[in-house]
């Protein structure tokens, strides 16, 4: 039986990039899967733009390899150009051209472009079809910019902070567009500073800091599959033996504080449901006033980028899905 060879849209393997003596990307490895929205997170100066530019073939790395659909994006640009489109945040359009004229112009650059009218519909710009680009709102302009990236029917779209500066309604509309793009079989690689956007929109995220990839996984994995990923707090009437409580709950991450109404107990856990279940069926503790606080992606982000420590997910590598 013939073996099927899998070609990942993006494979980054141990790349290093320096500007003079400054190491901007330090042994970064990453895989982006087909038909996923992959979000790249990191503070300013973390190396996000350099990584995206390396994937797009706009910068050559000093060592390591980058492959886009199996090709070197810097040496084989002609091979990957029909399959990849890049939309930088600071891009601009001809303000005097209408939406339809703009997409028609970009369609002329491709041998087999998408249908302009159908794309306008998917962009949600039917009512703005004959509106000049200079008269569009910020959200409408951002959707049109993504439209110029989609008109050539790419298999991979790279977006640099696509929702930066948008109001909530415009951002929601843009997210719907990006999801529908993924659902049409197109891989989306984007950078963002918005933790809520990354949590709600991205299938997987990678956190980059100090030029190194600190963690990769789904937002749920990064938030839950870590020790102390949530806290469960509750009140009991009497003082309790801390060692016994830790044994009963099966964790050492327990602290207590005496209050006027009893003893407030705080448990850090990766499985809050299990803690609540044990408390509910305990005949002696008689816990009340439960409060469960789940860890957010922002908490994980601040932990990984704030102290410079690399934290690996159990069972997951930074190179791709387990």
Q: What is the pLDDT of residues 129-141, one digit of tens each?
A: 999 999 999 999 9
Model confidence at 45: pLDDT above 90: no
- What is the domain count for the chain? 2
pLDDT digits 0-9 by tens, 273-288: 888 888 888 877 788 8
Residue 68: CATH number of its domain: 3.40.50.300
pLDDT the model gives residue 315: 32
246 and 210 share one domain = no
> Of all residues in the chain, what percent carry a pLDDT higher than 70?
90
Each residue's pLDDT tens digit, 170-189: 899 999 999 999 999 999 99
Q: What's the pLDDT score for residue 5?
A: 55
* CB distance 41 to 207 below 8 Å: yes
Q: Are residues 62 and 169 in the same domain?
A: yes
Helices (H), 151-206: 168-183, 195-201
Partners of 256 in the beta sheet? 265
**164 and 286, same structural domain?**
no
What percentage of the chain reaches a pLDDT higher than 90? 55
pLDDT of the residue at 146: 94
Q: Give DSSP secondary structure letters for 135-154.
A: GS-HHHHHHHHHHHHHTT--
In this structure, is residue 99 part of a structural domain?
A: no
Q: What is the CATH number of the domain that holds 256?
A: 3.30.70
Q: Is the pTM of this model over 0.85?
A: no
**Average pLDDT, integer, range 255-268:** 80
186 and 271 assigned to the same domain = no
**Is residue 69 located within the same domain as residue 163?**
yes
Decide if 23 is inside a domain: yes
In a domain, 280, yes or no: yes
Structure tokens at 146: 């993504």
Average pLDDT for residues 188-214, to the nearest whole number?
A: 93
């Amino acid at each position: 039986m013939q073996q099927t060879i899998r070609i990942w849209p993006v494979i980054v393997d141990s790349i290093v990039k320096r500007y003079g003596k400054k190491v901007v990307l330090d042994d970064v490895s990453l895989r982006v899967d087909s038909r996923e929205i992959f979000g790249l997170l990191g503070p300013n100066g973390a190396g996000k733009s350099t990584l995206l530019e390396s994937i797009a073939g706009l910068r050559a790395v000093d060592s390591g390899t980058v492959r886009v659909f199996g090709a070197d994006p810097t040496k084989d640009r002609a091979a990957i150009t029909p399959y990849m489109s890049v939309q930088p945040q600071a891009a601009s359009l001809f303000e005097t051209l209408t939406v339809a004229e703009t997409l028609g112009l970009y369609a002329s650059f491709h041998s087999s472009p998408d249908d302009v009218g159908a794309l306008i519909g998917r962009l949600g710009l039917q009512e703005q079809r004959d509106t000049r680009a200079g008269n569009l709102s910020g959200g409408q302009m951002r959707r049109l910019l993504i439209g110029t990236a989609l008109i050539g029917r790419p298999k991979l779209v790279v977006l640099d902070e696509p929702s930066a500066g948008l109001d909530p309604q415009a951002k929601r509309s843009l997210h719907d567009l990006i999801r529908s793009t993924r659902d049409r079989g197109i891989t989306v690689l984007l950078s963002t500073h918005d933790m809520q956007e990354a949590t709600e929109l991205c299938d997987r995220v990678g956190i980059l800091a100090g030029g190194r990839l600190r963690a990769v996984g789904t937002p749920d994995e990064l938030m839950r599959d870590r020790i102390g990923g949530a806290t469960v707090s509750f009140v009991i009437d009497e003082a309790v033996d801390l060692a016994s409580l830790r044994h009963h709950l099966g964790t050492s991450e327990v602290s207590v504080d005496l209050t006027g109404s009893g003893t407030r107990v705080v448990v850090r856990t990766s499985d809050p449901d299990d803690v609540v279940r044990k408390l509910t069926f305990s005949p002696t503790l008689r816990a009340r006033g439960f409060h469960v606080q789940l860890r957010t992606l922002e908490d994980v982000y601040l932990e990984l980028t704030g102290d410079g420590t690399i934290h690996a997910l159990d069972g997951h590598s930074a190179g791709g899905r387990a």
